[in-house]
Chains A and B, each alone.
Chain A
Amino acid sequence: MASARVDASPIKYHAPIPGSLPAPERELRRRFLEEAQVVPGGDRISQCLQCGTCTGSCPVSYAMDISPRMVIALFRAGQIEEILRSRTLWICASCYMCTTRCPQSIKITDLLYALKRTAIDAGLYPERFPVYLLSKNFVRVVNRYGRNQETLLLLLYYLRNPLGLLRMLPLAMAMLRRGRIALFPKKIKGVGAIRTILRASKDFELPREKEAVPYTEGMVGYRAVG
């Protein structure tokens, strides 16, 4: 997968020219749809009724800048960049309530994951960006030891945020006293196997459900999602 950064630095709100999308938007759209095709049933996104059940069911929608319903609306309107730059993607705690309740069986949580991957891939994320940092460190720790080491993960994470570490201290001490913190990381025997899988999966891509539709300038709204 290409991981070159998309040049889309300052937020540009696209002039609403019917039937045309600016080039960066088309590129992001292509990348997102590619990711979405990995999700089984990912193409159900075209069936959205805009009923708002997802937003109403979401326990964290109160803290989002763009609600889950609006995510799909913006996607249709050709404003993916705005979605990728939002807080919404990173606030989703992936509890799958929206997916369970959606009357159109849209895999909203999985599509948000697809959007997250698109945003990371394109280097588009908010400046102070805790989720990506945590994910990255998580992957680092697992690749090294074969298992997650909570202590190490949190230490790596809070390196960038010493104030946060300070706030965690009372809880950490209480957990330590009760033997709920593992001080020394354990490496599994098969860590070599994990690394082999890692190396071999460099160009490992999940099969797509459908071939990507080639994009032309006129593809906005319903036409863009088939």
Chain B
Amino acid sequence: MEYLYYPGCSLESSGKPYGESLTAVFRALDIGLRELEDWNCCGATMYMSVNEALSMAISARNLALAEQAGFRDLIAPCSACYTVLLKTNRFLRESPELRAKVDQLLGQVGLKYSLGVKVRHPLDVLVNDVGVEAIASAAKRSLEGIAFAPYYGCQIVRPERGFDDAEFPLTMDTLFQRLGARAAYFPLKTRCCGGMLMTTFPDVCLQLVKDLVECAAENGAQCIVTTCPLCQVNLEGYQKRVNKMFGTSYQVPVMYFTQLLGVALGCSEKELGFHRNLIPWRAPISVLAA
């Protein structure tokens, strides 16, 4: 089995540990992962606030390249890329006029896209293609003793009809519970972290981050597990400022779901990029001893 992989801009800098752990997990499961050659920016949500039409054409170039490479599934780990690429695909499918125009634009650079690519999130691929049972039988360590807050964020479950419920997704809960961890009560699992508001309106965003971290900590989670590079940076990197602003003293580690999964699959902490996390997390001795 081999998948085509669209890392997205974040995974090359702030989200580096996400990319590293994702690669490690796929390697451990013996699934091929090939990076899409010469991919470009998906357009993200910001592009849309300036010029929606342009954002569609730019993002369609990636889909065309993926099709050219002969793959049916394209894995997009960043929530923003995932949503934008899915949306482009849907718009192109639903509107023949738009498709004709995008075809014409792509034609000028020698590309062609005939809607043959499916955009997938790695969580979806791991749980629905590989399967929870297959992962459990490949696991080398049990995650017993870990209580985690499953934080999905907003854009992998909304607005496109994705692979899980828009408000109470359970994919991650099921996966890690099967591997022995305990999902803490975390009703804010799809509450927004504020995203780019951290740059534009930090005071508004810090409040959102505080709510999330507080909810996780008060419900006994030892760590927050995320699926999005922006959520991870907001929740981890700004805890210090939250503490300063609200007089709290949170120190909750925030990791990518692939990092925790990699621990279960027996990957080393270095392979999983744990040394890059700002708030250190040590797996409980019980986990590492197994």
- The chain A residues found within 8 Å of chain B, CB to CB, are 38, 40, 59-60, 62-63, 90-91, 93-97, 99-100, 107, 109, 113, 116-117, 120, 130-131, 134-136, 138-139, 142, 146-151, 154, 157, 164, 170-171, 174-175, 178-182, 186, 188-194, 196-198, 200-201, 204-207
Contacts and interface: CB of A to CB of B under 8 A. Distances in A.
> Chain B's interface: helix, strand, loop or mixed, by majority?
helix
Contacts of A149: 9, 13
Nearest to A99: B159
Contact of A94 (B52, B94, B195, B203): B195
B158 A99 contact: yes
B237 interface: yes
Given A134-B46, A178-B276, A150 B38 contact: no
Given A151-B13, A196-B108, A205 B275 contact: no
Contacts of B98: 206-207
A179 B43 CA distance: 25
Contacts of B159: 96, 99-100, 107, 109
B201 A130 contact: yes
Interface residues of B, number: 69
Contact of A59 (B15, B46, B111, B192): B192
B58 A150 contact: no
Given A63-B204, A91-B204, A113 B52 contact: yes
A117 B49 contact: yes
A139 B192 CA distance: 24
7 contacts: A63-B203, A96-B155, A96-B159, A117-B51, A134-B199, A135-B49, A147-B39
B167 interface: yes
A134 B196 contact: yes
Contacts of B52: 38, 113, 117, 206
B191 interface: yes
Among A120, A164, A171, the one with the most B-chain Cβ atoms within 10 Å of its Cβ is A171
Nearest to A129: B200
Given A139-B46, A151-B13, 13 more contacts: A38-B52, A59-B194, A60-B208, A93-B196, A120-B50, A147-B39, A148-B41, A154-B199, A170-B240, A171-B238, A182-B13, A190-B109, A197-B105
A135 B46 CA distance: 5
B197 interface: yes
Contact of A139 (B15, B47, B190): B47
A188 B199 contact: no
B265 interface: no
Nearest to B45: A94
B118 interface: no
Contacts of B249: none
B117 interface: no
A151 to B, nearest CB: 7
Contacts of A93: 154, 192, 194-197, 205, 208
Contacts of B111: 193
A144 to B, nearest CB: 11
Interface in B248-290: 275-278
B278 A174 contact: yes
B158 to A, nearest CB: 4
B50 A136 contact: yes
B48 interface: yes
Interface in B2-54: 9-10, 12-17, 38-41, 43-54
Contacts of A188: 38-40
A181 B41 contact: no
A91 B38 contact: no
B10 A150 contact: yes
A135 B50 contact: yes
